[in-house]
């Protein structure tokens, strides 16, 4: 199994669920993580990543970490200073239409969104609200492009787009697609030579459907034009995703693998969870399993069954532990506080 991994956690793209998979694998195999300085949750995002943002990094010691997966703005020469040269690089993308709808609710406080009532209103006259010089502009335009390290206000000419796609392909071994999450997990398992249980998951950091809205077609077209660079990245990697599946796995085997993954997840849900799945924040009984609530979104969580055996309880708990709590737990394990 591959143990040296760089995951570019693109915002609002099922990336918290992927991070939980990496946390569990790393914990099980005693791997080290490139944590943000002081145990924070982002690597000084939205600044471009620098090696010195990582706790325990020193330019004088050749120490490398196994897994880099916290939010960052990608900059490969700096990333290479903190992970082994053998590291596998991957990311996950989401359709920019749904991505922006999610960003609008989640980052309602961002400068471009704070004075506008609806996403449609924003898309009618984006430059009335959007300031390319503001420090949080990326939440409102070409968020994928920004997370990959490029300029979200850059020119979208075919030549520039091609250069950007080539640069991403040169840095990343593969890119997953969140709309095909189960297929993506099968591909991840294949590329990393992991077993099925390493890629099972329950969806984390998901919103209550009451805060989701569907955009009319006219707004969708405006949104694609406004996020043109993201749209180009997404459509390109959506295509290469299926090409890779055809080449490396084949559709028939993919169907079997997805079925096995879903069956295993359903079995774990029956074993671990009270009720049929996720619940509203107010209904989560164990406060340590309550996810951070953000913006106008209501982030769902889970209740574990009572009376699980010790080993099983641990497995189940890890599957539903929200990102911030899990990150803190692993940080304390890797950098134990000095005894009083």
Residues 6+ apart with CB under 8 A from 109: 295
Q: Tokens at residue 157, please?
A: 């000419």
* 3-state SS, residue 175: strand
Pick the CATH number of 5-334 from 1.10.3210, 1.10.357, 3.40.50, 3.30.2030: 3.40.50
- Here the contacts of 335-340 (C-beta below 8 Å, separation 24 or greater) are 335/35, 335/39, 335/55, 335/56
Q: What is the pLDDT of residues 95-123, one digit of tens each?
A: 999 999 999 988 989 999 999 999 999 99
- Dihedral over Cα of 278, 284, 289, 290: its sign: positive
Q: Which three-class secondary structure state does DSSP give residue 174? A: strand
Q: What is the dihedral of CA 226, 229, 235, 238, to 10 degrees?
A: -120
Containing 276, the helix (H) or strand (E) segment is none
Task: Convert the pLDDT of each residue in 123-181 to its tens digit.
Answer: 999 999 999 999 999 999 999 999 999 999 999 999 999 999 999 999 999 999 999 99
Rounded Cα–Cα distance for residues 141 and 224 (Å): 10
For tokens 């084949």, the residue is: 250
Q: State pTM to two decimals.
A: 0.95
Per-residue pLDDT of the chain in tens (340 residues, 90 and over written 9): 999 999 999 998 999 999 999 999 999 999 999 999 999 999 999 999 999 999 999 999 888 999 999 999 999 999 999 999 999 999 999 999 999 999 998 898 999 999 999 999 999 999 999 999 999 999 999 999 999 999 999 999 999 999 999 999 999 999 999 999 999 999 999 999 999 999 999 988 887 777 677 889 999 999 999 999 999 999 999 999 999 999 999 999 999 999 999 999 999 999 999 987 899 999 999 989 998 887 777 889 999 999 999 999 999 999 999 999 999 999 999 999 888 8
Here the tokens at position 240 are: 């290469």
CA angle 189, 166, 228 (to 5 degrees): 95
pLDDT at 261: 98
- How far apart CA 284 and CA 108 sit, in angstroms, is 24
Residue entry with tokens 């809205």: 213
């Amino acid at each position: 199994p591959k143990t040296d991994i760089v995951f570019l956690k693109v915002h609002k793209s099922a990336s918290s669920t992927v991070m939980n998979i990496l946390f569990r694998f790393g914990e099980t195999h005693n791997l080290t993580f490139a944590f943000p300085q002081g145990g924070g949750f982002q690597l000084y995002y939205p600044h471009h990543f620098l090696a010195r943002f990582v706790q325990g990094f020193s330019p004088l010691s050749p120490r490398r970490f196994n897994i880099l997966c916290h939010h960052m703005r990608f900059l490969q020469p700096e990333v290479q200073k903190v992970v082994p040269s053998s590291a596998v690089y991957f990311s996950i993308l989401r359709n920019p239409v749904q991505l922006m709808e999610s960003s609008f609710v989640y980052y309602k406080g961002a400068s471009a969104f704070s004075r506008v009532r609806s996403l449609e209103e924003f898309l009618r006259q984006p430059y009335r609200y959007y300031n390319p010089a503001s420090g949080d502009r990326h939440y409102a335009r070409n968020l994928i492009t920004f997370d990959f390290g490029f300029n979200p206000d850059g020119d979208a000419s075919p030549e520039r787009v091609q250069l950007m796609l080539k640069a991403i392909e040169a840095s990343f071994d593969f890119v997953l697609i969140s709309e095909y999450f189960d297929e993506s997990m099968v591909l991840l398992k294949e590329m990393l030579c992991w077993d099925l249980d390493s890629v099972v998951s329950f969806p984390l950091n998901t919103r209550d459907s009451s805060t989701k809205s569907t955009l009319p077609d006219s707004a969708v077209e405006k949104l694609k034009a406004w996020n043109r660079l993201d749209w180009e990245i997404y459509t390109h990697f959506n295509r290469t995703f299926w090409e890779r599946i055809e080449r490396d796995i084949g559709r028939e085997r993919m169907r079997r693998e997805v079925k096995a993954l879903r069956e295993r997840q359903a079995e774990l849900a029956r074993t671990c969870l009270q009720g049929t799945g996720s619940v509203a924040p107010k209904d989560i009984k164990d406060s340590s399993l309550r996810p951070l609530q953000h913006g106008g979104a209501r982030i769902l969580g889970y209740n574990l069954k009572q009376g699980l055996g010790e080993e099983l309880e641990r497995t189940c708990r890890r599957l539903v532990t929200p990102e911030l709590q899990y990150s803190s737990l692993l940080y304390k394990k890797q950098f134990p506080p000095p005894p009083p």
